Amino acid sequence: MSLRSMLAYFVLLCVDMTPYQKDTTLKSSPVCKTFVSTSVRKYSKKTAAPERAYDSDDDSDSDDERDRTPRRQRKERGNSEFWRRKMRTLHGVMDVNKDGVISYDDFMLLTEKFASLGHLDAKAKNEFRDIMRTTWEQQWGEITPYNLVTVEQYLTEMHHVVNDKDLKKKVHRFLPYLYKAVDKDRSGSISLNEFKLFFRCLGLTEENAAVSFAVIDKNGDGQITLDEFVKLGKDFFVSEKETHVSRMFWGPLVDH
């Protein structure tokens, strides 16, 4: 018997024995164990469903994990102080004029800042304004002077959203619009300079922008794609893991 056929025989033996491993001494063979576990891993890899575009890689709060958890064991989301800090941070960032509420005025002020700091011409400015209007409507609904969102309202609303199966899927729907607005030169990707300009308009520093950019640009190619932007932006809303990098999406978190 050649060495190759001996090896093949041994491998077959390992596979054949796996259902009976409990009763054999072969189960403790490290070679066999390694082979079997590698095969299982390879098999799982091949047959696993493709990763859902915007689901987190390492976020234990992912939909998949929750779907496998019996209903009675599921924990309500959005009760941790960490999650509340994140939402207060985003509220503060979106409140561009810092009057304590998010309103359409904030979005128009952001448009003005972006247009003037980014030297947008009239056409580009109009496009930016249209995108910001759509972004507002997607996230906040009606454009009226009475549509003002306080921090407490925002926390209550977002708590409801992340605990509602259907609403949670839409939590990130404004992000593609925002992405389009930040992609100033319409190249289809966001450069560090575009991102810095965006952060500057939100009252954040270039250093804040560089940190957030680095974590959002997951493949490190120096450009943020729509997928990278939406994926991490969605994780910001749904993850309760303090170690998850999505916490840096909107700059440093407020203290309390």
Site for Ca ion, rule CB under 5 A? 95, 97, 99, 106, 217, 219, 221, 223
Distance CA 120, CA 87 (A): 31
Shortest spacing between CB 227 and Ca ion, in angstroms: 9
CB of 197 to Ca ion, least distance (A): 18
CB nearer Ca ion, residue 29 or residue 97: 97
Of the two residues 124 and 192, which places its CB atom closer to Ca ion in the complex?
A: 192
As measured in angstroms, the least distance from the Cβ of 101 to Ca ion is 5
Contact 100, 151 (CB under 8 A): yes
User: What separation, in Å, do the N-terminal and C-terminal C-alpha atoms of the chain show?
Assistant: 72
Shortest distance, CB of residue 220 to Ca ion, whole angstroms? 7
Of 32 and 230, the one with the shorter C-beta distance to Ca ion is: 230
Return d(Cα 192, Cα 212) in angstroms, integer.
10
| Smallest separation, CB 119 to Ca ion (Å) | 25
- Within 8 A by CB and 6+ apart from 122, the residues are none
Q: Say which DSSP state 148 is in.
A: -
Nearer to Ca ion, 162 or 201 (CB): 201
The C-alpha atoms of residue 209 and residue 236 are separated, in whole angstroms, by 16
**What residue type is 105 in one-letter code?**
D
Identity of the residue, 89 or 223, whose beta carbon is nearer to Ca ion in the bound complex: 223
